[in-house]
């Protein structure tokens, strides 16, 4: 995704990624022009439960609720801190455990998730009782992905 361009939709001012995808071969290219709204990519990557969606704009939430403890080169323990707001019942869901582990342990994924709060803090505008912000983030490096 290093060749993705970041653009802003002139109508709704929402951020999106734009790139060309070759669904053919190098000899017979069949280019498809792709536009992915950034909020939709973030939803697919990160927003699989209310906790991850709601807290994405809370800078430092992961460090306050989880302690990553590398024991050795092959073992890392994730401690759930006592004052956490992550719903305990969510740990019964293997998919959520895998997603949370990916975000916490993969530096690329964690930086991407935390970039949401970073941009929110820098760019959000306060209007009386409301806060407004055009969602955007830095996506993780997506190596060997496929489009379906």
Show Cβ contacts of residue 139 under 8 Å, excluding neighbours closer than 6 positions: 1, 4, 17, 38, 41, 45, 112
* Reduced 3-state DSSP string for the chain: CCCCEEEECCCCCCEEEEEEEECCCCCCCCEEEEEEEHHHHHHHHCCCCHHHHHHHHCCCHHHHHEEEEECCCCCEEEEECCCCCCCHHHHHCHHHHHHHHHHHHCHHHHHHHHHHHHHHHHHCEEECCEEECCCCCCCCCCCCCCCC
pLDDT at residue 147 greater than cutoff 70: no
Percent of the chain's residues with pLDDT above 70: 98
pLDDT tens per residue, range 98-117: 999 999 999 999 999 999 99
pLDDT tens per residue, range 25-63: 989 999 999 999 999 999 999 999 999 999 999 999 999
Q: Where are the domains of the chain?
A: 38-132
User: Distance between CA 114 and CA 94 in Å, rounded?
Assistant: 23
8 A C-beta contact, residue 71 and residue 54: no
Distance of CA 96 to the CA centre of its chain: 14
């Amino acid at each position: 995704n290093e060749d993705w361009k970041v653009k802003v939709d002139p109508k709704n001012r929402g951020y999106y990624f734009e790139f060309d995808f070759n669904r053919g071969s190098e000899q017979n290219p069949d280019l498809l022009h792709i536009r992915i709204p950034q909020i939709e990519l973030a939803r697919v990557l990160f927003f699989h439960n209310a906790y991850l969606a709601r807290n994405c704009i809370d800078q430092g939430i992961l460090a306050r609720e989880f302690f990553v403890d590398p024991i050795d080169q092959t073992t890392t323990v994730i401690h759930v801190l006592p004052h956490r707001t992550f719903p305990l019942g969510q740990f019964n869901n293997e998919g959520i455990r895998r997603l949370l582990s990916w975000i916490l342990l993969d530096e690329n994924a964690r930086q991407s998730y935390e970039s949401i709060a970073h941009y929110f803090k820098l760019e959000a505008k306060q209007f009386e009782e409301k806060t407004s912000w055009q969602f955007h983030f830095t996506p993780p490096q997506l190596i060997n992905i496929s489009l379906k």
